[in-house]
């Protein structure tokens, strides 16, 4: 951590001089108290200033040292400067404001401190989406409507029927006030597209959301509306999970097309919007209620979308309003003490120069093919070790390092890490196809990946059983990169890491403790350094008995061919490639209801065609012709049991196999399992490698048509 020089009262007095006219720009400083790390465009919205005029004012405030700016790059977002108040800016604001302001109360009551800034930068895509949302809500509201309160993040505390206390975290919460003065409460969650979203994670969140609803009922309070910001390729997945959980508990979702009297029993209001659609305006019809989304099988129909004003049918109670309160005012910072000019050193609350802190990592992470330029006295190994140690430190250390990587890495470097978190041991050609569609120049990839190797975020591994050449060279994430992904997505490191096989065996065969001690035995902390941590889902992919790697390599090869064929032909477009973990689906075992079964395809692709922009899902099963008939039979029975239990239809499954004989074996097992309601297509790998999905597009279109008719 860089040590900043002492801040003295005379420094504040010098910048507060009348001839500098800082008092004319206090509203900018106040907005950066309420909403730190806004861009110039977002500040222009809330201050209602001309963009070029605001640019000059921000430049002036920066030169005076009252504000600082940082910039970073995220895929899908335009890189811009984000502004925040310095300690000097806080004291100048307090000294020039017409009200008696306490800097200490500013630091306690508003998100301006070092830890507040680090929290936002540790999860940058959440912050970017929420800043876009709240500034548009503030600036684009209809006459006499206003956002009266906003908190980021927000923790909802509730008690269950047994009296146990729980907490559910949301990315934000806000109050919207109508012309009549009534307040309406909203929860907000941001679903990051790069995050490897699994069914158990969504199930847990939805169950907790329903538990909050039940707690509100017990206290006779209104349940706030829930807004989900996601990407359109995930809509169907969310619709399926919300539908399953609400159906199992008999909960009616809000249908905004119904008149208000008919909505009384619809006590759960959930809506979803594409993050990209925020640019249309938050009061535009961009929100799709989950009731309509489920009816449309996860597809978005424009007639079912609604503006946010459609959800203002429930007035929040004064108690709920008070809990949501974080007003855009100075009330929390008022002091009754007379102002005094202190001559001694002033306390720093921001106490960080973000760009300067990130500079050493940014220097090493700068894309290039050669060895990175390293500042004197800071060898790469020392920086890499500091990076690793930080993710084993306390929460502030982890947030700080996550924020530094946000500032230091390029958007493509972040994409590489996200791809390898989802698909370990990709080869160079796989990553090139994902990052640079239609280009085969691997130097574009190497420029980005070499600095990550120097920082020990990525490691190169050689698959000795692979074909000679580039196929043997594989990339995987090192432990610090996986811990960073967990921090970036607000999750425990255990989401991406598990104990190594040897450590699991040691625990399994260790002498069992006495019964009393066993009752008190705690699981190993994900921050423990006494064990070895490895990436989840890589067992069997590496080492002496890495037979699974042949299977995984075949899947990667087929998906790469499908991607390349889409770039060449433009007949279809792959939106998203899900891993086996993301693609899995659970169901209740028909013979033992207390147990669950799994449908576990090898991958899932979301795609659109040139003739239809509606996204479709395609499950992938890769068969090396090593699976016997009984195993194939059990696989197809799982598909049948899933559809029977969930009363839903699985997407079409593409089974990729090696020969005509293997194809016949698959169809025989399919018939034996009586899986006639399951939609499958069997194709040879050589055809997929050559033409991707082109040979089966007609079959896929027929399958989707049949599926829609069946669902009706």
First CA to last CA distance, the chain: 61
Per-residue pLDDT band at 338 (split at 50, 70, 90): very low
Q: What is the C-alpha separation between 291 and 239, in angstroms, rounded?
A: 9
* pLDDT surpasses 80 at 342: no
Answer with the residue of higher pLDDT: 366 or 43.
Answer: 43
Architecture field, domain 371-510+528-535:
Orthogonal Bundle (1.10)
Nearest-angstrom CA–CA distance, 346 and 104? 11
Same fold, 7-118 and 371-510+528-535: yes
Range with lowest mean pLDDT among 130-134, 142-146, 377-381, 384-388: 377-381
Decide if domain 551-711 falls under CATH 1.10.287: no
pLDDT in tens, 220-229: 888 899 999 9
pLDDT in tens, 287-333: 999 888 888 877 788 777 888 888 888 888 888 888 887 666 666 66
**Structure tokens of 582?**
């993301």
d(CA 686, CA 690): 6
Which pLDDT band holds residue 392 (cuts at 50, 70, 90)? very high
The answer to whether 400 and 352 are in contact (CB under 8 A) is no
Q: How confident is the model at residue 262, as a pLDDT? A: 53
CA angle 572, 573, 576 (to 5 degrees): 140
Residue 572 predicted with pLDDT over 90: yes
Question: For residue 364, what pLDDT is reported?
Answer: 87
Provide the β-strand partners of residue 617.
606
pLDDT at 58: 94
- Please give the average per-residue pLDDT across 658-686, as a whole number: 93
* pLDDT attached to residue 72: 93
Q: Which two tokens stand for residue 67?
A: 């504000």
Does the pLDDT at position 545 exceed 60? Answer: no
- Structure confidence at residue 250 (pLDDT): 79
Dihedral of the alpha carbons of 178, 181, 187, 191, in degrees to the nearest 10? 30
The 10s digit of each residue's pLDDT in 100-109 is: 888 888 888 8
Mean predicted confidence (pLDDT) in 126-140 = 94
pLDDT over 90 at 439, yes or no: no
Higher pLDDT, 653 or 339: 653
Query: Averaged over 426-444, what is the pLDDT?
Result: 88
Amino acid 198: pLDDT = 85
Point out the least confidently predicted range of 36-40, 74-78, 251-255, 696-700: 251-255
Domain positions in the chain are 7-118, 140-324, 371-510+528-535, 551-711
User: Structure tokens of 188?
Assistant: 């907000």
Whether the pLDDT of residue 540 is over 80: the answer is no
CATH architecture of structural domain 7-118: Orthogonal Bundle (1.10)
597 beta partners: 587
3-state secondary structure 77-135: CCCCEEEEECHHHHHHHHHHCCCCECHHHHHHHCCCCHHHHHHHHHCHHHHHHHHHHHH
Q: How far apart, in Å, are the Cα atoms of 292 and each of 270, 306, 512? A: 10, 11, 53
Q: What is the pLDDT of residue 522?
A: 66
Looking at residue 505, what is its pLDDT? 79
Residue 467 has pLDDT above 90, yes or no: no
Q: Alpha helix (H) ranges present in 253-379? A: 290-295, 318-324, 354-365
Strand partners, 176: 147, 184
pLDDT of residue 377: 46
Share of the chain above pLDDT 70, in %: 90
What value does the mean pLDDT take over residues 550-564? 93
The yes-or-no verdict on residue 201 having pLDDT over 70 is: yes
Task: Quote the pLDDT of residue 297.
Answer: 76
Tokens of 82: 């984000």
435 and 415 in contact (C-beta within 8 Å)? yes
What mean pLDDT is reported for the chain? 86
Range in 482-486, 512-516, 529-533, 583-587 with the lowest mean pLDDT: 512-516
Lowest mean pLDDT, pick from 60-74, 478-492, 602-616: 602-616
pLDDT score at 108: 86
- Checking if the pLDDT of 400 tops 90, the result is yes
Radius of gyration over alpha carbons of the chain, in Å?
Answer: 28
Give the H/E segment covering residue 215.
helix 199-218
């Amino acid at each position: 951590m860089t040590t900043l020089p002492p801040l003295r009262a005379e420094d504040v007095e010098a910048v507060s001089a009348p001839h500098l006219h800082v008092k004319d720009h206090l509203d900018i400083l106040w907005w950066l108290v309420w909403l730190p790390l806004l861009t110039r465009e977002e500040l222009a919205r809330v201050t209602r200033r001309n963009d070029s005029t605001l640019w000059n004012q921000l430049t002036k405030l920066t030169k005076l040292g009252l504000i600082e700016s940082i910039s970073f790059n995220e895929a899908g977002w335009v890189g811009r400067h984000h502004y925040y108040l310095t300690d000097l800016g806080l004291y100048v604001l307090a000294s020039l404001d017409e009200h008696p302001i306490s800097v200490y109360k500013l630091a306690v009551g508003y998100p301006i401190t070092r830890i507040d800034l680090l929290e936002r930068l540790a999860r940058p895509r959440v912050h970017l989406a929420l800043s876009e949302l709240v500034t548009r809500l503030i600036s684009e509201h209809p006459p006499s409507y206003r956002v009266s309160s906003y908190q980021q993040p927000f923790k909802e505390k509730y008690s269950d029927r047994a009296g146990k206390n729980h907490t559910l975290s949301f990315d934000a919460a806000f109050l919207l006030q109508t012309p009549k003065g009534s307040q309406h409460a909203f929860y907000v969650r941001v679903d990051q597209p790069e995050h490897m979203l699994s069914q158990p994670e969504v199930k847990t969140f939805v169950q907790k959301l329903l538990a909050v609803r039940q707690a509100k009922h017990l206290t006779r309070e209104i349940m706030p509306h829930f807004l989900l910001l996601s990407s359109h390729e995930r809509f169907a997945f969310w619709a399926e999970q919300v539908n399953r959980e609400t159906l199992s508990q008999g909960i009616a979702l809000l249908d905004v097309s119904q008149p208000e009297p008919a909505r009384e029993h619809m006590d759960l209001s959930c809506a979803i919007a594409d993050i990209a659609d925020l640019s249309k305006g938050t009061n535009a019809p961009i929100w799709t209620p989950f009731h309509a989304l489920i009816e449309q099988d996860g597809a978005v129909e424009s007639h079912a979308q609604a503006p946010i004003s459609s959800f203002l049918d429930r007035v929040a109670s004064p108690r709920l309003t008070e809990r949501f309160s974080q007003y855009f005012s100075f009330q929390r910072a008022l002091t009754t003490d007379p102002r005094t000019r202190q001559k001694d050193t002033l306390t720093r609350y921001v106490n960080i120069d973000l760009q300067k802190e990130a500079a050493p990592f940014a220097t090493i992470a700068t894309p290039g093919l050669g060895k990175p330029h390293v500042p004197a006295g800071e060898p790469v190994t020392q920086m890499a070790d500091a990076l690793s140690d930080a993710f084993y430190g306390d929460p502030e250390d982890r947030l700080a390092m996550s924020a530094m990587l946000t500032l230091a890495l390029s958007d493509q470097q972040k994409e590489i890490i996200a791809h390898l978190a989802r698909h370990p041991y990709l080869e160079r050609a796989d990553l090139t196809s994902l990052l640079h569609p239609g280009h085969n120049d691997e130097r574009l990839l190497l420029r980005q990946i070499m600095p990550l190797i120097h920082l020990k975020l990525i490691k190169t591994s050689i698959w000795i059983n692979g074909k000679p050449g580039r196929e043997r060279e594989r990339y995987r994430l090192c432990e610090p990169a996986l811990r960073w992904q967990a921090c970036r997505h607000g999750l425990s490191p255990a989401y991406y890491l598990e104990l190594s096989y040897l450590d699991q065996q040691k625990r399994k065969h260790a002498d069992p403790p006495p019964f009393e001690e066993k009752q008190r035995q705690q699981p190993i902390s994900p921050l423990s350094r006494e064990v070895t941590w490895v990436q989840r889902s890589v067992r069997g992919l590496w080492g002496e008995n890495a037979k699974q790697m042949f299977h995984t390599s075949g899947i990667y090869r087929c998906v790469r061919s499908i991607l390349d064929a889409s770039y060449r032909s433009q007949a279809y477009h792959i939106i998203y490639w899900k891993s086996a973990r993301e693609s899995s689906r659970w169901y209740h075992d028909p013979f033992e209801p207390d147990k669950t079964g799994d449908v576990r395809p090898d991958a899932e692709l979301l795609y659109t065609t040139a003739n239809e922009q509606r996204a479709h899902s395609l499950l992938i099963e890769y068969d090396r012709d090593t699976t016997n008939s009984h195993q194939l039979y059990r696989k197809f029975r799982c598909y049948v049991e899933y559809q029977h239990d969930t009363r839903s239809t699985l997407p079409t499954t593409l089974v990729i196999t090696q020969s005509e004989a293997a194809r016949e074996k698959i169809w025989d097992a399919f018939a034996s399992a009586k899986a006639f309601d399951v939609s499958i297509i069997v194709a040879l790998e050589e055809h997929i490698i050559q033409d991707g999905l082109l040979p089966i597009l007609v079959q896929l279109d027929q399958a989707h048509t049949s599926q829609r008719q069946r669902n009706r």
